[in-house]
């Protein structure tokens, strides 16, 4: 078995955070997360997680998570928790959720039925 370049002995992460990095063509009927600066939020969140020195957390870009109308889509696994991010102000509650398990109700994705 080949050695892991980072010295890991098992594959995987305890927590996996995906932030939508999907972009659509100009004039598309639906919005996209990339035009809302999802990659800027991703970069900042990755930096903050790295600075925490907590192992087992992976933050990365995903393809379309299909909820772009709700803000920047984010999902955390294995919990299966979905969040709607609207800007840099949402990084702190998301970071507290990831690192400390603090509930982040204010950014939890909430869907409503069409009337």
Q: What pTM was estimated for this model as a whole? A: 0.88
Contact (Cβ atoms closer than 8 angstroms) between residue 57 and residue 110: no
Q: What is the pLDDT of residues 52-110, one digit of tens each?
A: 999 999 999 999 999 989 999 999 999 999 999 999 999 999 999 999 999 999 999 99
Residues facing 72 on adjacent strands = 85
Q: Cis omega (within 30 of 0) on the bond before 51?
A: no
The answer regarding whether domain 15-107 maps to CATH 3.40.30.10 reads yes
Domain residue ranges in the chain: 15-107
What is the C-alpha separation between 93 and 24, in angstroms, rounded?
Answer: 28
């Amino acid at each position: 078995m080949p050695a892991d370049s980072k010295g890991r002995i098992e594959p995987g992460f305890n927590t996996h955070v995906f932030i939508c990095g999907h972009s659509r063509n100009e004039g598309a009927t639906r919005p996209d997360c990339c035009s809302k600066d999802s990659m800027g939020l991703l970069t900042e969140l990755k930096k903050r997680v790295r600075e925490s020195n907590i192992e087992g957390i992976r933050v990365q870009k995903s393809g379309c998570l299909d909820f772009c109308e709700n803000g920047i889509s984010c999902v955390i696994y294995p919990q299966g928790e979905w969040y709607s991010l609207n800007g840099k102000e949402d990084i702190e509650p998301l970071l507290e959720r990831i690192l400390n398990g603090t509930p982040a109700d204010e950014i939890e994705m909430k869907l409503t039925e069409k009337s």
